[in-house]
Structure 1
Amino acid sequence: MADSMRGVYTSLAKIRRTVFRDVARVAYEDDDGVYDELDDLPYKIISGDVATYRESVFLERAIVGERIRLAMGLPLQGGDRPAKISEGAAEAAKPETYYQPPLINIINFACNACAEEQYVVSNLCQGCLAHPCREVCPKGAISFVDKKAYIDQEKCIKCGRCRQVCPYTAIAHWERPCAAACGMNAIGSDDQGRATIDYDRCVSCGQCLVSCPFGAIADKSQIFQVIQAIRSGEEVIATVAPSFVGQFGGRGNVDKLREAFKKLGFAGVEEVAVGADLCAVQEAGYFLDEVPDKIPFMATSCCPAWSVMAKMEFPEHAECVSMALTPMVLTARLIREHHPKAKIVFVGPCAAKKLEAQRKSVKSEVDFVLTFEEMAGMMEARGIEYTKLKGDGSTDFDVASQDGRGFAVAGGVAKAVVDAIHKDHPDLEVKVEAAEGLDNCRKMMKQAVKGKFDGYLLEGMACPGGCVAGAGTIQAVSKSAAQVRAYAKKSPHKLATENMYNTYLDVLEREADGQRRRDAVAETAEALKPDPEASSSEA
């Protein structure tokens, strides 16, 4: 569902981006800090008195109101008491407001209460003589009523054999879209049949929020806080993830990107692929040093949702997850060396990065995280058409390697690490196993702990397709992947080892002691996850 909806400008996408745009506009333009306009926004976004999307225009506006609050980093209000959207808006300028859990939220009255997984006989059933569906059912859950197949849901174990053998494809497999997209099995139901999130399991990958066709799931944004930092006169520097290519309409267009960010008020913009190069070199070093003498295999660490899942579900093998800092963190630390007082904003495809920036065990140096979609809303608020800007004619960031830029696409991380290993060890065979989507990542880890992948480098990506399929992306995954690969080829450096900033890794190691490195690998899901008590009270 997530892949099929991505890149299609649906009415839901329109509402989502309109909310980001209008919240950004209010943040840029409201000089007195009262934000009274917030209470009027639902009436501007959903005009008239006739419902367009739901059964009631009042329900539509209530949903938009909740999305506005989340876009400001504020908690949901719910529908059980009278409240203004602007309630607490003055507090939204404070970064700690955003950090109140949970990050991923379900707007209860927007949920369609979709049926949980089940196999259902449709009206295509012909009541055929062979009855293969009944014959293959291992639990005797299928009978015939009025000459049509009938499935007893209490007996059904959802094996799907009936669907496989039906000659008329008359048996449908129904799944709640958000639950189907959740690789952590964290989506359940309340007593009204509405979706709920088990925050003890959720790793904030965001696949549920881009899979819900009713717009009932949304994450908090830091648009408001970023703009407040810009307006206060602070030096605010943006770092863009390797998957930025094509997300705003262009194909790299680095000069236009710089100009767009400058118009938004940013003091500068840097490429996170620089940090990807450093990460690849770090992981290559750790792999050579530790596999197989110290650990049986090594898993990549750049995807926070995947690494948290691996540590959460396989704690006895937590040390097998790479100790390398992520590209986002390495880039931020590099910037911090030269701009110690700057506010650093990571702009990327990922909801889970919002939680990574908050983690306690390893300081990220990242002050704010925005998704590409949120950044597009900021551009629209300022009337910036990215592809129509003049730019300065430069075509490249001129720093990161092809391999570093390739981190954004599934398989790219492992390739960069292997290439870095082969730089000095060309004859060393490095076996690689990769998985996309948390379900497949879990299967890969299960096989690894059983010894199937001893000596291997494992690449895990929570989003199918890699970072180009993150919850905060705008365009179709296949198109984005192609554009990322094309942009990567423009770099004059092929390998991560050719990055001029690799000497910075030596600085990191000299400054760090053994405990810091152990802290990085021992970081558990608890360090990234919100307080369960706060989560349950707000959910």
Structure 2
Amino acid sequence: MRGLYSSKTKIRHQIFTEVARFAYEGGDYSKFETLPYKIIPGEISTYRESIFLERAIVGERLRLAMGLPLLSASEQAPISTGVEESMVDEKFYAPPLINIIKFACHSCPEKRVFVSDGCQGCLEHPCTEVCPKGAISIQHGKSVIDDEKCIKCGKCKSACPYNAIIKQERPCAAACGMKAIHSDEHGRAEIDYDKCVSCGMCLVSCPFSAIVDKSQIFQTIKAIQSDTPVYAAVAPAVAGQFAGLPSNKIRNAFKALGFADVVEVAVGADLCTVEEAKDFMEEVPAKQPFMATSCCPAWSMMAKKNFPTIASNISMALTPMVLTGRLTKKQNPGCKVVFIGPCAAKKLEASRRSIRSDIDFVLTFEEVAGMFSAKEVDFATLSEDDEKLSFSSADGRGFAVSGGVAKAVVNAISKLDPEREVKVANAQGLDECAKLLRMAKAGKYDGYLLEGMACPGGCVAGAGTINVPDKSAMEVLKSKKETTFEGSVETPFISALSTLENMYHEFDYKNDNT
């Protein structure tokens, strides 16, 4: 749960910190073997039934944080196996991005309905009356559910006046809008990667921290330590993510990690807004019935997988991340760019062949927090930045919250064509996004601009965020007030848009799913 410093949060932070420290300090890679003992010291277990199990799980998490694949539990091998291959400053994310450490999985039941001790054995017993399958009987004065007959409809739960009937679902599966998680032969969670879009909601929801995504912390730091300047492209959702770090110290904070400078992805959001506004005015309804925004990679990938006949209605504008990367490399030839944001799916997007030349690495806010800890950066002692991060519009920064993308595009259209009225519909969470597209496919949203966000609440609720999403949304609103102009069409970088769109024709960006 974002914003709650739990044992799960603590371990994740320790993992990222130790991998970052391992990269900054350098030296013999064999030291990697000692890290589980540093993170889980002593002889007595704290979180699970065995300290050996705790260290084994930490070992696998360390491997994933290095960008390495999981090791098979059936084969004997040191956790440092293959680690030297990751000790480089260039390494793409190798699939799968989202992984389940099987021996960390609690083997939660997929779905069950049961009667708790709260049952009062009431005279009315409405639970038995509403059950469509006759699965509930009264035994010794209490309601009992026959699992063989129960269809998990939940009608009994709704009817119980004492809230004594509980309907449980595996947390990771409940959070997955793609229905990509099922049980393996041992009852452990398993991901169907043909369905998965790497939104990361499952890893956020797993209370046992058995689901983990890969990281490029080590590779990013190695790049920073090279002679090549490395730029941090920071997403708008950064507002309020790092406790004690005010907006006027963000640039110096990232420079303390070794970055050459900081650029705002909100600048790319402005350019994306202008492009989508122009596309909408040209395409809808003359060439297509509706248009959907493009910036959320999990949303657009869901559309391609589940709604291929209307997927072409997703905007083909380059995403803010890609536009920011291209602009930064145009202004600083030979540099490397690290996208730093809230999103696990951006890691998958950056791995596409058509984007690898734009974005070199992707890190989440949670991973960068480990870098700050490893370098022992004290935000309080940092001086204020010489320059403000104010090269973007208020609308560009608004991309971080649900509804913000569509609002930016509508505002841009109103500037470019004041007579044009734009109808908008938006959805957050992949379940709701799928409903939105089903209705669009049925013709319910002809003429509309549709916005889809895979994470409920928008990017501020992404899998790699630290702060409570609602608080982050408030911080984003504050950051919008710090900008020097309101609308995306006012961006000083608009003249570069056509050049950025035409860069790198080696791969087909629009149709690249690789």
The amino acid that maps onto 1:228 is K
Cα deviation 1:156-210 (Å, max 9, x = unaligned)? 2222111111011011111111111111111111111111100000000001111
SS of equivalent residue, structure 1 residue 134: helix
> Is contact 1:78–1:107 with CA below 8 Å preserved after alignment?
no
Could you tell me how far 1:429 is from its partner in structure 2?
1.4
User: Which position in structure 2 is the counterpart of 1:318?
Assistant: 311
- How far 1:267 moved relative to its partner? 1.0
Deviation of the 1:438 alpha carbon: 0.2
Residue in 2 that maps onto 1:440 = 432
Code of the residue aligned with 1:456 in structure 2: it is Y
**C-alpha separation in 1, matches of 2:300 and 2:101:** 28
1:502 corresponds to 2:498: no
How far did residue 509 of structure 1 move? 5.1
Aligned to 2:457: 465
Describe the superposition over 1:217-257 as per-residue Cα deviations: whole angstroms up to 9, x where unpaired: 10000001111111222211110000011111246424x22
- Separation of aligned partners in 1, 2:217 and 2:155: 48
1:412 aligned residue (401, 404, 407): 404
1:298 and 2:291 matched: yes
User: Is 1:422 the equivalent of 2:410?
Assistant: no
Aligned with 2:342 (options 349, 354, 361): 349
- Higher mean alpha-carbon deviation, 493-502 vs 93-102, is at 93-102
| 2:93 pairs with 1:99 | yes
Give CA deviations for 1:38-62 in whole Å, capped at 9, x if unaligned.
1111111111111110001111111
Partner letter of residue 407 of structure 2?
K
**Displacement of 1:98:** 4.7
CA contact (8 A) 2:291 2:313 kept: yes
- The one-letter code of the counterpart of 1:22 is E
My pick for the range that moved more, 222-231 or 272-281, is 222-231
Partner AA of 2:94 in structure 1: Q
Aligned twin of 1:289:
282
- Residue in structure 2 matched with residue 532 of structure 1 by the alignment: none
1:536 aligns with none
Question: Is this contact kept in 2: 1:98–1:221, CA < 8 A?
Answer: no
Q: TM-score by structure 1 length?
A: 0.92
Q: 1:510 to 1:389 in 2, by over 3 A?
A: closer
Contact 2:318–2:501 (CA<8 Å) still a contact in 1?
A: no
Q: Calculate the aligned-residue CA RMSD, in Å.
A: 1.7
Contact kept? 1:318, 1:521, Cα under 8 Å: no
Distance 1:192 1:236, change over 3 A: same
Q: CA deviation at 1:334?
A: 0.5
Amino acid at match of 2:375: R
Change (3 A) 1:64 1:463: same
Query: 1:21 aligned to 2:32?
Result: no
Per-residue CA deviations over 1:358-416 (Å, capped at 9, x if unaligned) read: 1135556101000001001011000002344122354x312100000000010100000
- Tell me the amino acid that sits aligned with residue 309 of structure 1: M
Candidates 215, 218, 224, aligned match of 2:212: 218
The farther-off stretch of 220-229 and 419-428 is: 419-428
Q: What is the CA distance between 1:136 and its match in structure 2? A: 1.1
CA separation of 1:512 and 1:379: change in aligned 2, threshold 3 A: closer
Contact 2:326 2:500 in 1 (8 A): no
The yes-or-no answer on 1:158 pairing with 2:160 is no
- Which whole-Å deviations, capped at 9, do the CAs of 1:278-314 have from their partners, x for residues lacking one? 0001000000000111111101110000010011111
Match of 1:196 in 2: 190
| Equivalent in 196, 202, 205 of residue 199 of structure 2 | 205
TM-aligned CA distance change 1:511 to 1:57, over 3 Å: closer
TM-score when normalising by structure 2: 0.97
- Within a 5 Å distance, the mapping from 1:212-361 to structure 2 comes to 212-250=206-244, 252-254=246-248, 256-361=249-354
**How many angstroms apart in 2 are the aligned matches of 1:15 and 1:39?**
17
1:401 corresponds in structure 2 to: 393
**What CA distance in whole angstroms lies between the structure 1 residues aligned with 2:334 and 2:395?**
31
User: Is contact 2:135–2:145 with CA below 8 Å preserved after alignment?
Assistant: yes
Cα pair distance change 1:183/1:202, threshold 3 Å: same
Does 1:30 pair with 2:23?
no
Of stretches 228-237 and 311-320 in structure 1, the one that deviates more from structure 2 is 228-237
Residue 471 (structure 2) aligns with = 479
Distance 1:99 1:401 in 2: 32
Deviation at 1:490, TM superposition (A): 1.2
* Cα displacement (A) at 1:148: 1.8
CA distance in 2 between counterparts of 1:127 and 1:258 reads: 63
Structure 2 distance, partners of 1:330, 1:510, is 11
Per-residue CA distance 1:454-501 (angstroms, 9 max, x = gap): 000000000000000000000100111000111111112100000000
Q: 1:76-91 to 2 correspondence within 5 Å?
A: 76-91=70-85
Q: What amino acid is the match of 2:74?
A: D
Structure 1 stretches of 5 or more lacking a match? 529-539
Matched, 1:55 2:44: no
Contact 2:390–2:482 (Cα < 8 Å) also in 1: no
* Distance in 1 (alpha carbons) for counterparts of 2:324 and 2:58: 35
Instruction: Give the partner amino acid of 2:17.
Output: R
Query: 1:96-120, CA deviations, whole angstroms, 9 ceiling, x for partnerless residues?
Result: 7553211101001101111111211
Contact 1:322 1:521 in 2 (8 A): no
| Contact map agreement 2:329 2:336 (CA 8 A) in 1 | no
CA distance in structure 1 between the aligned counterparts of 2:458 and 2:472, rounded to whole angstroms: 11
Match of 1:369 among 350, 362, 368: 362
How far did 1:430 drift? 0.6
* Number of residue equivalences: 514
Aligned to 2:442: 450
> 1:229–1:118: structure 2 CA closer, same or farther, 3 Å change rule?
same
Please point out which of 103, 107, 120 is paired with 1:113: 107
Following superposition, the deviation at residue 78 of structure 1 comes to 3.3
- The alpha carbon displacement at 1:88 in A equals 1.2
User: Residue 171 of structure 2: which of 153, 177, 184 is its match?
Assistant: 177
